[in-house]
Amino acid sequence: MDKFYTPSNVAAQLANAIDLSSVSGIVDSNCGAGSLLEAATRVYPSADCLGIDSDEDALLRLARTRPGWKLVHGDALDESAWEIFPEFKPDVAVLNPPYSMRTARGIQVTVDGVDFRVSTAMAHVITTLGHSNPKRVVAILPESWAHSQIDSKGRKAIERRYSIEVIQKLTNTTFEGARANALLVLMKRQSDNLRRVLTLPRGLPDHLSLVRGGLPVFEAVTSRAGIPYLHSTDIAPLVRDGCAPRRTVARIGRGTVAGRVILLPRVGFPKRELVKSVYLMKTVQLSDCVIAIKSTKREDLDALERAVCENWDSFLQNYRGTGARFITTQRLEAWLSEVPG
């Protein structure tokens, strides 16, 4: 299937786009006759190569001409193909994956614990990123990869870790046979801190818990016998001056917290200097615009404060949305389960 091998002039262009000063390992998870690896090793002659392909004959031919390469016969979308050389850590992935859809609904992938369906080409890109975490990816992808609805979640997932740049359009005459118009796409890893795109949901570290506020401002009922109401605008006075919120409201059944917490606005970017642990002496009712990260140990939250600070850009990427940026407990949980420290 999809044996539209890359002509040598396009493979050379792709290899030149890698643009790293040194490269020690290169992977092509759909290597076919190996033209992309071949071109890349012309630019980086000392690099080690891993090629995966489901076409056994192609691999046997390649093994004869390139006995030093690591070659795996298997389905690159299957975990097992990546288990043969677990120690191989490529800096670069070169790709020209199959484009044909197995079903119109696409292929299911899991990124940061969230399942969604993508095109075949996108499934190969995401799986390769997930298993090999390369610094650079240069790929020949169908034009639809860059704008189709089915791949929108996949693009967003990749953009959390990589910049994506279309270097060139390739017309359908580039490949022998009837292949769709394609793009030469360069992806550069932006964040070194989060290692795997493809992860199983690991959940929060044991010592942390999240409390999502639940009471919208317009539903809050002031009550002198109630508990303090903590809205996002109360975070700054509390962190800077220790001023507890004054307004007391009738508590609702969810979103209340006391003790050692880091408070985050759920909507709108947080300020770096306000991501600090505070001690809530009384139980407060959080507004629906606040999330609290709670721990019984101060050291845990101190370590988290530092980790957030050191990984600020990646932390901010949890705030997304087309209008006002917002964070979800699911995204925060996924980030906290991966963050070092």
Q: Which region among 29-37, 41-49, 200-208, 239-247 touches ligand SAM (by CB under 6 A)?
A: 29-37
- How many angstroms separate the CA atoms of 310 and 298, rounded? 18
Is 287 an interacting residue with respect to ligand SAM (CB under 6 A)? no
User: Is residue 119 near ligand SAM by the rule CB under 6 A?
Assistant: no
- Shortest distance (Å) from residue 88 CB to ligand SAM: 16
> Could you give the angle at which helices 120-132 and 152-159 cross, rounded to 10 degrees?
20
Angle, alpha carbons 207-210-216 (nearest 5°): 160
Judged by CB under 6 A, which stretch of 3-11, 128-136, 160-168, 231-239 contacts ligand SAM?
Answer: 3-11
- Nearest in space to 291 (alpha carbons), one of 311, 314, 319: 319
Out of 13, 41, 96, 232, point to the residue binding ligand SAM (CB under 6 A): 96
Q: Give the DSSP H or E segment for 16.
A: helix 8-16
Q: In the set 17, 28, 158, 284, which binds ligand SAM (CB under 6 A)?
A: 28
Q: Point out which span in 33-41, 105-113, 241-249, 327-335 binds ligand SAM (CB under 6 A).
A: 33-41
Q: Name the one range near ligand SAM by CB under 6 A: 31-39, 109-117, 262-270, 306-314.
A: 31-39
Q: Which residue's CB is nearer to ligand SAM, number 31 or number 170? A: 31
Burial of 271 (0-12, 13-18, 19+ CB in 10 A): exposed
Q: Is 10 in a helix, a strand, or coil? A: helix
DSSP 45: T
In the complex, minimum distance from the CB of residue 257 to ligand SAM, in angstroms, rounded to a whole number? 47
Could you say whether residue 128 binds ligand SAM (CB under 6 A)?
no
- Tokens representing 230 are 């903590």
Binding range to ligand SAM, per CB under 6 A, among 25-33, 107-115, 163-171, 185-193: 25-33
- Nearer Cβ to ligand SAM, position 34 or 245? 34
Which among 75-83, 192-200, 208-216, 327-335 is the span making contact with ligand SAM, rule CB under 6 A?
75-83
Judged by CB under 6 A, the residue of 12, 26, 31, 336 near ligand SAM is 31
Q: Residue written as tokens 């016998």?
A: 225
Residue of minimal CB distance from ligand SAM? 32
Residues in the chain: 341
State which H helix or E strand residue 138 sits in. strand 136-142
Residue (38 or 288) nearer to ligand SAM, CB: 38
Interactions with ligand SAM, residue window 37-56 (CB under 6 A):
52-55
Single-letter residue type at 71: L
Work out whether 302 is an interface residue with ligand SAM (CB under 6 A). Answer: no
Count, residues near ligand SAM per rule CB under 6 A:
23
CA distance 95 to 110: 20
Is 300 a binding residue for ligand SAM by CB under 6 A? The answer is: no
* H or E segment and range at residue 261: strand 256-265
**Element housing 225 (H / E):** strand 222-230
Residue written as token pair 């929108």: 152
**Side chain identity at residue 22, one-letter code:** S
What is the side-by-side order of every strand in the sheet holding 136-142?
70-73, 48-53, 25-28, 92-95, 136-142, 182-189, 162-170
112 binds ligand SAM (CB under 6 A): no
* List of residues contacting ligand SAM (CB under 6 A): 1-6, 28, 30-33, 35-36, 52-55, 58, 75-77, 96, 98
